[in-house]
Amino acid sequence: MPESERKEEVLSRLKNIKGHIEGIIKMVEEGKECEEIMLQIIAVKKALEKVGYFIIESHAEKCLSDVENKAQIQKILNIMMKFLS
């Protein structure tokens, strides 16, 4: 994926998370149940983790792009992602 597409993907995901957080703020202001709020916070946490993984994976792909063996790159990326998840 080209760097400009990666950037747009990250920004899109972060904007989605921002909207989700704004929803949580509204829930708190409206006095929603703790359980409802916590479930939304968990969802935001997971979404933020996924963005972090995407950034790490994209950075690793870019850094490893000079390696000639593309299968080896994919193997390294798969190991990294398993480790991080």
pLDDT in tens, 8-38: 999 999 999 999 999 999 999 999 999 999 9
Position 69 pLDDT exceeds 90: no
Q: How many CB atoms lie within 10 A of CB 58?
A: 18
Distance CA 55, CA 7 (A): 9
Mean pLDDT along residues 29-51: 95
Helices within 1-85 (DSSP H only): 3-29, 34-63, 70-84
Confidence of residue 47 (pLDDT cuts 50, 70, 90): very high
Position 1 pLDDT exceeds 70: no
Q: Which residue has the higher pLDDT, 60 or 48?
A: 48
